[in-house]
Amino acid sequence: MAHAVQYTQTGGPEVLSLFEIPAPAPGAGQIAIRVEAAGVNPRDVKERSGARATEPITAPRGIGHDGAGIVSAVGDGVDGFRVGDPVAFRGMLGSYATEVVVAASNAFVRPAGVSAAQAAALGIPAGTAYQVLRSLGVREDETLLIHGGSGSVGQAAIQFAVLAGARVIATTSDGRAGRVRDLGAEPVRYGDGLVGRVLEVAPDGVDAVLDCAGADGVFEASLELVHDAQRFATIVLGAEAVERGLRAFSGGSPHPLTPQQEAWRSEAVPVALALLASGFFDVELGEAFPLDRAADAHRAVEAGARGKVVLAP
């Protein structure tokens, strides 16, 4: 038997419970993975609370989309994986578990030196950051403004943009400015007067903006600063952005990601794994909780925990 965190109704963290389930077996094109770490994302919190629309719950529902572990079985027609391989995975529902089955196309061999917790932290944050930067066409010698630079997506976006040769300005709190600076961005305090503070360091404005924060006034401030409104994108205020004719990727946007955007999100994981293994990418890890404390992990995320919160089954 295996164990999985599931819920039967939306609500507070207390709706999460640990269930005993049959150990899953892989079908054609799938692999089974013994989970060593599962990433806890804001998306998980929104789905559990009902803040993010999902299908009606008619049976216990798993939760979590990213993780890492060891291949325990390989289905028919799968190449490139063997039992015992360390892997990262993304793009599935139910990663808060001791055993999962995923499509082989959503799993990636984990290089030596990359921990399970690091690998589990990549799927949604690195995938989102990589896809949005590709969609915005951020290039060498351009200036990118990131709202919310100290969060998991913001940190990944800083690193991808810096590696591409862009100059990065990132909004953050005073207490998190050091982390943002260490990743290669120029920290700017968020809040009232933001436009003036950005113009002090970038008098000509910026070439592109990624909003990871959704703070009040983010649209107005960004449109004052960016040269082309179509090079602004939000990942948190999707519905409002679309109403204004601005770009949004998930985050409540009524427009689904395109196949190309989905492909970029998947491509980001092996890219980030290789960069991690070679020392050119960093993941800030937060607290690790056991599987039976998934509710506490959600409370930590809701409270603004520093670093990536993970579950360690």
**Domain end (from 226, 248, 270):** 248
pTM of the predicted model, to two decimals?
A: 0.96
**Each residue's pLDDT tens digit, 236-250:** 999 999 999 999 999
Report which of 266, 235, 230 is spatially closest to residue 250, judged by C-alpha positions: 235
Q: Residue for token digits 């089974």? A: 32
Amino acid letter, residue 264? W
Q: Are residues 75 and 147 in the same domain?
A: no
> What 3-state DSSP class applies to 86?
strand
**Each residue's pLDDT tens digit, 241-285:** 999 999 999 999 999 999 999 999 999 999 999 999 999 999 999
Confidence check: pLDDT of 168 > 90: yes
Give pLDDT, residue 53: 84
Give the pLDDT band (50/70/90) at residue 306: very high
Token representation of residue 30: 């799938």
- Arithmetic mean of pLDDT, 93-117: 98
Percent of the chain with pLDDT over 70: 100
Q: Residue for token digits 């949604």? A: 124
Q: Are residues 76 and 153 in the same domain?
A: no
Give the Cα-Cα-Cα angle 26, 9, 313 (nearest 5 degrees).
45
**Domain end (from 199, 228, 248):** 248
Confidence check: pLDDT of 66 > 90: yes
Confidence check: pLDDT of 176 > 90: yes
Domain count, the chain: 2
Report which of 141, 190, 135 is spatially closest to residue 167, judged by C-alpha positions: 141
Instruction: Quote the distance between the C-alpha of residue 78 and its chain's center.
Output: 27
Give pLDDT, residue 34: 98
Q: Is residue 268 part of a domain?
A: no
Report which of 223, 147, 155, 229 is spatially closest to residue 191, judged by C-alpha positions: 147
CA distance 125 to 210: 13
